[in-house]
Amino acid sequence: MDDDIAAQSFGTVPGQVSKFAQTHPSHPALIQGGRIVTYAGLNAIVDRVAAALQRDGIQPREIVGISAGDSIEYLTVFLGALRAGVAVAPLPKNVTPKTLSAMIQDAEIRLLFVDAASRSSLPVPTKTDRTRLVALDGSEGVQSFLEWLPAETVRPRNIDVQPDFPFNVIYSSGTTGIPKGILHSCAMRWAHVKQASSRGYGVDSILLAGTPLYSNLTLMSVFQCLARGGTIVLMQKFEPGNYLALVKKHLVSHTVLVGVQYERLMAHPDFSREIISTLRVKLTGGAPMSPALKGAILNSWPGELYEAYGVSEGGGICILAAHVHRDKLHTVGKPVPGHEFRIIDENGAELPQSQIGEIIGRSPQMMTGYFNNRISTADAEWFDAAGRRFIRSGDIGRFDDDGFLVLLGRAKDMIISGGFNIYPKDIEEVLETYPDILEVAVVGVRSEKWGETPIAFVAPKLGTAPEPAAILSWVNARVGKLQRLAGIELIDQLPRNAVGKILKRELRETYETRHQSH
């Protein structure tokens, strides 16, 4: 099957599911709780979903939405939509009704799949609403998923899915403002699938993702695994004890986790190397991890650890094989084959790769653009002298002498104080060595004297009570004069999105609102 995929210039994930339904019909495809769906069973229900969408007049290239916890039904709807040539917008949970409504309108969603929890985030419906709801969990008030499905004998019309068909619209993390819809094509996702063998995915693979299905990192891994005939173990919500129990029960071989989840797992009383002994491959991404945390994982967990760097918009991926390059844990690795990166300054001029600037990249895996947003799409693009298209990451960094990428933070998080650039990560790395600090985020706040000045939000380790003044004196003695902090703010925990990115915009706004009122 690996050779079959490598030889195909284009294919689809539902097409792979159909193949395995013929060659490995009784092999488990999806597991959740006590439920097991085989490849034959999955293929049959994917057909019914596709037929239902066609019955409801949802046309190829249109978009349906899913706003729900991870479930078997979630993935069957996703795959069924793709079989019908329909794209999916996997909408994040835990957003405000206003934000969710904006996403639904932006993606022009006429059919939205929900569950009881996500419906609480939906705006109050009006008579003019054109979005129909289907409850994946059968919760009362709207049509249930089982009622919506056609009879088992119904089959969909065949759709010749083309490479340029939209695959999904993923809404950006919203760490810097209103989320934008990132449009990925079927060709882009197939390029991801073709890389699956490099992570050891195959029929014997069992993947447990701790990150949600609306995360690009999760979707990439899930579809890679399914396209190679592996098994997906689903958990509706990450909880360390449940995660460890699932690894032990199902002999999980592959996993996707973000940094804070690794920390919570290693702190759990049930954590042991024996329980996680079957894990061969661990993937992390979404938010940078400190070198200390990567080192702790390598010392405590078996198997390989890969850190993926990239943006959902595409434009290239760097991979750090941390288990191979222990001396490069301060980096996010090297570009994968066929992916090209460059460094540009604030005016868009190209810089030597050893210099600090914005990271841009190009690859076979780039977004078509932001859905219904040509202006933002143009802002995200950069073209070289030959007219080749690159995607701007919004991240600041440089490449070291060995070609490994060193991240310094988001361009929008860079602090300009007295006309000098301050990179928060430089200060954060110093603060992370303070004995009583669990995690830290440095942000720039308004200053009459300097324009901006850095302050640090510090979450102490459990059972400690560090003094802000002591931390401030300690760190300012260890950083450069221009990097000295103006203050320390203690906080129980840093706000993060679903894939572990720290919401620095939220910290900054909270600080400035509180201090304006004084």
Residue 278 burial (10 A CB sphere; 0-12, 13-18, 19+): middle
* DSSP strand pairing (206-209 vs 254-256): parallel
- The three-state secondary structure class of 453 is strand
For the CA atoms of 291, 215, 497, 71, what is the dihedral angle to 10 degrees?
-120
Other CB atoms closer than 10 Å to residue 140's CB: what's the count? 7
Other CB atoms closer than 10 Å to residue 404's CB: what's the count? 19
Other CB atoms closer than 10 Å to residue 63's CB: what's the count? 22
Average pLDDT of adjacent 10-residue blocks, the chain of 518 residues: 72 97 98 97 98 97 96 98 98 80 90 90 64 91 94 96 96 62 93 82 95 91 96 94 97 94 93 95 87 94 94 89 96 94 94 94 90 91 95 93 91 79 87 93 87 92 92 93 91 84 87 72
Q: What is the DSSP letter of 331?
A: S
> Which residue, chain included where needed, has tokens 């600080």?
511
Residue 245 zone, left/alpha/beta (φ > 0; ψ -120 to 50; rest): alpha
Residues 293, 322 contacting (CB under 8 angstroms): no
Q: Closest Cα partner for 164 from 198, 194, 133, 189?
A: 189
Residues 305, 297 contacting (CB under 8 angstroms): yes
Predicted model pTM: 0.83
Residues 50, 83 contacting (CB under 8 angstroms): yes
The angle subtended at Cα 330 by Cα 305 and Cα 458, nearest 5°, is 100
Q: Which two tokens stand for residue 125?
A: 């419906």
Using CA atoms, how far residue 494 sits from 8, 114, 384, 439, 512, in Å, is: 45, 29, 39, 8, 16
The angle subtended at Cα 199 by Cα 242 and Cα 37, nearest 5°, is 50
Q: How many Å apart are CA 249 and CA 147, to the nearest integer? A: 33
Q: How many Å apart are CA 42 and CA 19, to the nearest integer? A: 12
Residues 233, 246 contacting (CB under 8 angstroms): yes
Q: What are phi and psi of 51, to 5 degrees?
A: -65, -40
Residues 75, 67 contacting (CB under 8 angstroms): no
> Which residue, chain included where needed, has tokens 């222990």?
326
Q: Which two tokens stand for residue 29?
A: 């495809």
Residues 58, 108 contacting (CB under 8 angstroms): no
Q: What are phi and psi of 514, to 5 degrees?
A: -65, -40
* DSSP strand pairing (281-284 vs 254-256): parallel
* DSSP strand pairing (381-383 vs 369-370): unpaired
Q: How many Å apart are CA 368 and CA 490, to the nearest integer? A: 42
Question: Which residue ranges form the domains of the chain, and what is each CATH number?
Answer: 2-198 (3.40.50.12780), 310-409 (2.30.38.10), 414-516 (3.30.300.30)
